[in-house]
Structures are given as structure tokens and as C-alpha cells.
Amino acid sequence: MPSPPPSAGQVRRPRFGELGRFWQRVTEGLELSQLWSQFRTDARASYRLYQRDFNARVPLGTHRASFFDKAQAFAWAFLEKLTPARRVLFLLGVLLLIFPAGRFSYHGKSEDVEVGEFDFRFYGGALLLVVLVLEVADRVVMKRDLEIARDIQSWLLPVTPPHIPGLAIAFTTRPANTVAGDYYDAFERPLAASGESRFLLAVADVAGKSIPAALLMATFQASLKTLSATSYSLEEVVAAMNRYACTNSQSGLRFTTAFLSEFDPASRVLAYINAGHNPPVLRHNSGAIERLTQGGLPLGIRAEGVYESGSIVLQAGDCLVIFTDGLVEAVNQRDEEYGEPRLLNVLHADPSVTPDELLRRAMADLDIFVGSTPQHDDVTCMFLKAS
């Protein structure tokens, strides 16, 4: 007896099911709008990469360069990113695609003429595929190395804030790339002479992004930890760090802005030095706003630079926010900056909330503002609240 036909719910559609799974694997579950946004981000980044070399050959504003000259400059801007062997393969593949076909004739012993044709388009495409596979392999190796560097960098940053009597802390960082040039820290600094302890709080931003900035960030962290273990005052620590930074700053090109402070739980005094950093904002319990500007030049610009310290007394309810320029200079799709006023709105919204909640609200407000606009700089933020 034949079996009844399957119902609509029992009908298998392996083709569409497999296609769906394949599409999910390729797109990692992203919607078309997200894929398009990601493509635009990649295209802009690639354009900026090639534009630097293109402008070196065809300066902006010149009108004498012909279309051929500009095309040649762009071609070299691309080709120089490849190794010589891959350039040869790429050019050969392009030539085989541009001139794919040919004919030849052969006269045998008889009077008949044999005509043959050949088509090299397949081989041209295969050569371009080989170049693509080799470039992807390099990218995978580089990505793996960057992920290892990111893990190492994460070890240099605190995961949870230390317990500080009379002060609550919350902090976070968002790298623009796999590794970042922003730095933050909060750690105890024992004073051998008095037997008391103070707490050093730091936020810094190395000029630039990615690997170079991350390497300098690591040296900044190492020098800060080493000097903080001595009996140096805060002014002496910053002066020594500046002298060391000047030896690694490429004549001031790789400078570091930093806000370094030292909190004394006994007196509730926060001594600080602002080395060219965005002025932190202190909201007093009364609602008054104060910016901490006392200090000097960014570290790494002038070896003999002088740094003056300032100090404030943190009363119960006072809230201090320290941030890098990546926060206030984040832009949305209309190229508008997030700006300090929006951060102040978060700070004023509810004076009774904890630093953790303030940090969460600030990051959420930033996400809403920028939308799908790609992040162009590292973002670091630290909230302190006295109790």
C-alpha cells in the first residue's frame, strides 16, 4: 500500500536549507544594511591607505597631471603594496584578462589550413585568485599576531578598580583597531617614609593608532609603574617620564597626552598634573563645574619641560570624569562631534548614581549618537565619585 504524500510541513527543501546555512556562514548573520555599512567602512579605509601614496605622486590641487598620470599614480599606489613576485602575477593575470584570445594557423603537408584558437581568461582569473589567496594568508597571520598583541595589551590594563577608601571608580576603553594607544590605570602607591598609601590614577593617549601607538603605550605603562615604585613626588615622576618619552618620540611626533593624579584617602586631596590632555571635568556636589588644567606640555615634546601640579579636595558627592579625545571627538553620520556638552548632560542627569551607572549611560549615549558611523579613534573614560 503506497504511503500517503507528505504534508506541507514535512516537505524537505534541502537546497534552500543548505543555501540558507551557507549564507549565514558567509555573512555571520549580518543584515544587508550591516554588510553595506561594513563595505563602506572598508572602502573608506582602503581609499585613505591608497590616497597617501597617490597624493605623494600627484599633489592635491594640481591641474597639470593628465588622466593617464593619475591612473598611473593610483596603479603604483596599489602595486607597491604587493611583493615583487605578486606584482608580476597580478600584472600577468590582468594582461591575460585584457587580451584573452588569439588565433594561429598551421599549413600542413596538404593544402588544407588548420586554424586554432586559444583563450587565456581562465588562466588570468586563476593568477588573480592566487594573488588573492596569498594576500588573505598574510592578513590572517597579521590578524593572529594582532590578536596576540591585544591579549598582551589587555594584561597591562586593570580589569577591576582597586578599593580606595572614600572613592569609587569605573573605567572602560574601546580601541578603534585591534590594539590601541590609550592607557588607563589605578593602583596603590605605598609611601615607605610614612607607611601610608596613596593611589595613582592615570589616563593617557599616545598620538596615533594601532601598532606604533600600542608599543609606546606599553613603554608608558612600564615607566609609570617603575617610577611610581620610587620615593619620587608626582612632579618628579612626570618629569622623569617626559625625559624618557623624549628619547622615543621621533622628535616630538610620537608625543603622549596624559592626566596623572595621586589621591590621598586621609586628606581627600587629589594632586594632579595635566600633560596636554583633555581637561577632566569635576562636577561638585553643588552642581558647579571645574576643569583640571594645571600641568604642562604633552610628554615627549620638550625634555626640559616644566610641569606644575594642581590639587583639589574631593568632597562627598563630587564626581570627576577623565577621558581621551576619542570620546568627545566621535562623529555621527552628519560629521557632528559628540562634544563635551553631551558628556556634561550625562554627568548632570542624576547626581546620585554610581560611577558604574554613569559610565554605562555615557557609553550608551555615545552609541546612540554615532549610530553606524565607524569609530576613528580610541575611546577611554574613567569616572570617579567621592563618598
Summarised one tens digit per residue, pLDDT across range 189-243 is: 887 566 678 999 999 999 877 788 888 888 899 999 999 988 899 999 999 999 9
Residue with cell 563645574: 289
Dihedral of CA 45/47/53/58: which sign?
A: negative
Residue that wins the pLDDT comparison between 113 and 25: 25
Question: Is the pLDDT score of 379 beyond 90?
Answer: yes
Of 187, 354, 191, nearest to 266 by C-alpha is 191
Which amino acid is residue 268, in one-letter code? R
Q: Grid coordinates representing 274?
A: 595635566
Question: Is the pLDDT score of 12 beyond 60?
Answer: no
Annotated domain spans of the chain: 157-386
| 234 CB-near residues (< 8 Å, 6+ apart) | 260, 261, 262, 271, 272, 273, 309
Q: Are 299 and 258 in contact (CB under 8 A)?
A: yes
Helices (H) and strands (E) in the chain, counts: 10, 13
Dihedral of CA 187/191/195/201: which sign?
A: negative
Dihedral of CA 83/85/86/91: which sign?
A: positive
Least confident of 10-14, 45-49, 88-92, 285-289: 10-14
The residue count of the chain comes to: 387
Q: What is 157-386's CATH superfamily? A: PPM-type phosphatase domain (3.60.40.10)
Cα angle 96, 100, 103 (rounded to 5 degrees) comes to 130
Question: Is the pLDDT score of 333 beyond 60?
Answer: yes
Residue that wins the pLDDT comparison between 160 and 38: 160
Q: Are 135 and 234 in contact (CB under 8 A)?
A: no
Provide the pLDDT confidence category of residue 78 given band limits of 50, 70 and 90.
Answer: confident
Provide the pLDDT confidence category of residue 9 given band limits of 50, 70 and 90.
Answer: very low
The pLDDT score that the predictor gives to residue 8 is 47
Question: Is the pLDDT score of 129 beyond 50?
Answer: yes
Which pLDDT tens digit goes with each residue over 255-296?
Answer: 999 999 999 999 999 999 999 999 999 999 988 999 999 999
Q: Are 256 and 216 in contact (CB under 8 A)?
A: yes
- Averaged pLDDT score across all residues of the chain: 84
Provide the pLDDT confidence category of residue 109 given band limits of 50, 70 and 90.
Answer: low
Least confident of 37-41, 152-156, 258-262: 37-41
Q: Are 294 and 235 in contact (CB under 8 A)?
A: no
Question: Is the pLDDT score of 323 beyond 80?
Answer: yes
